[in-house]
A and B are shown apart, each in its own frame.
Chain A
């Protein structure tokens, strides 16, 4: 079975550019989570969706960050404009919901110069 798929795996961009991260959850999972991991702040939940609807976006740091889930098999996290402090590893995870086990993707390592 394919796990959670994220793309790209690595992204290097310059400050001010738009960055789009993509995620394909496990088929049949109805909850999707976007996390950011840094040495300073650890693992932070940015936003999560249930049945394609955003439930909690309180972790989204600024208006520069936006996330969408147009259908059950695809989600995007966009940063526009990007800044050096956005450099981090961004993980997508999916689950069957209800606080059950989450399955993480391999992450996107973002470096903003």
Chain B
């Protein structure tokens, strides 16, 4: 399967702590993206990292990509209760599969006040 797989499936932390979620995939990629989904809503794009990049920052988000290990991590620093949501990684393949994204099952993050 070309789908990414997030780990852990669920994560529960206190406000102020950092949250780290991981994503593994199996095929060569063009880019890897992270999305957030609040309960009852659509997915919202957070950050995109290309295959020739190793790290990217956006506000309290830090994403790393290791193409040799076919893995990525999303770090949310100083988490807030409002960060409670499901987080999905999605990979964009190369060649004939370019155009679609392959989504994982997601990590459910709960941040307690």
List A residues at the B interface (Cβ < 8 Å).
Answer: 4, 31, 33, 42-43, 45, 48, 50, 55-56, 91, 93, 97-107
A107: chain B residues within 8 A (beta carbon): 41-42
Contact among B31, B42, B104, B105 for A104, CB-based, below 8 A: B42
A55: chain B residues within 8 A (beta carbon): 99-100
B92: chain A residues within 8 A (beta carbon): 98-100
Chain A facing B: main interface SS: strand
Chain B: interface residue count, which band? 20 to 34
Q: List 13 A-B contacts (CB under 8 A).
A: A42-B104, A43-B43, A43-B106, A45-B100, A48-B100, A56-B99, A99-B30, A99-B100, A100-B48, A101-B33, A104-B42, A104-B44, A107-B41
**CB under 8 Å from chain A, chain B span 31-64:** 31, 33, 41-45, 48
Chain B facing A: main interface SS: strand
* B93 adjacent to A99 (CB under 8 Å): yes
* B99 adjacent to A106 (CB under 8 Å): no
Starting from the known contacts A42-B105, A102-B45, A104-B44, 14 additional A-B residue pairs (CB-CB under 8 Å) come to A42-B104, A45-B100, A48-B100, A56-B100, A93-B43, A98-B30, A98-B92, A98-B98, A99-B101, A100-B48, A101-B33, A101-B45, A102-B90, A103-B45
